[in-house]
Each structure stands twice: as structure tokens, then as C-alpha cells.
Amino acid sequence: MGVRFRRKVAGVSPLDGEPFKGMDQRPSKRVKNPKAMKQVHEKGCWCVLNCNDKGQTHHIIFRSQGGPDEPWNLCCLCFNHHSLVHAEDMPTLVLLGEHLLLERPDTVTGIKVHLGEAEGAAWLARRLFVTP
């Protein structure tokens, strides 16, 4: 028994009966604050974990977890370190946590403001293995 496909009839979508308007040619807006992203790249986006490689923007609190496109939530990581952070590699997360604690007090403060004092401190300890 073969699979049967519904055909589009007279400009009507076969799934919901709504008129088909065509593909949306505009991509979804991923970056909510392009000014902050530009600010990170203008400084020279080199990996903050001292590997001397060109970096890409990383959200400390992931966008999927409600992290904003604000300067305090952005840092540069090379492709390798960026992949390791997303793979939850503990030594890389510890390095990132130490960097934020020593070099980026604005990020530590931003996390505590964004998540609340107690939850922010708990998140830093749980995610980046640091105690501010």
C-alpha cells in the first residue's frame, strides 16, 4: 500500500483549509539586540579562554533558556570551546566560569539580576562550577 499525498487545490492548503500565501521570505529574527552583538565583535572577537583563536558569539545563559542578547550575557569562544561548552564539557565550563568570575563582574551581576540573587548564584555554581 503506497502513501497518498493530498494535492493543493485552488490555492488552499490541504492541512488547514487556509489560503496558501507562499513561503515567508524573511528569516526569523534570531538576534534581538544587534547593537550588543556588534559591540562584542567590534572589540575583536577572540576566544576568552586564551587559545588565541578567532571566536564566535556565545550566550552565557542560552537563548533557549531565556538568555538575552545583552552585552553581559555575551562572550566570544572559538569554535572548539563553543562546541565543548554546549556539550557540557566540565573542564571547559570551569574555565569559562573562572574567566567570568575574574574578568567579567558585569556578567556575574547580570546573571544575578536576570535570574534573581539566589537562583543566579545557584545557576553559576551548578552550570559553571563557581561560587561568586
Residues 6+ apart with CB under 8 A from 84: 92
Helix 90-103, helix 105-115: angle, nearest 10: 100
E strand or H helix at 18, and its extent? none
Q: What share of the chain is helix, strand, coil (3-state, %, to 5)?
A: 45, 10, 45
- How high is the pLDDT of residue 132? 81
**Residue 62 to residues 68, 73, 86, 124, Cα–Cα distance (Å):** 8, 9, 9, 13
Which percentage of the chain shows pLDDT scores above 70? 77
**Closest alpha carbon to 53 in 76, 87, 72, 85:** 76
Where are the chain's structural domains?
Answer: 34-128
**pLDDT above 60 (res 1):** no
Residues 64-86, mean pLDDT to the nearest whole number: 93
Residue 38 — pLDDT band, cuts 50, 70, 90? confident
Mean pLDDT of the chain, nearest integer: 82
Q: What is the pTM of this model?
A: 0.73
d(CA 1, CA 90): 51
Residues 6+ apart with CB under 8 A from 18: 12
Task: Report helix, strand or coil for 5.
Answer: coil
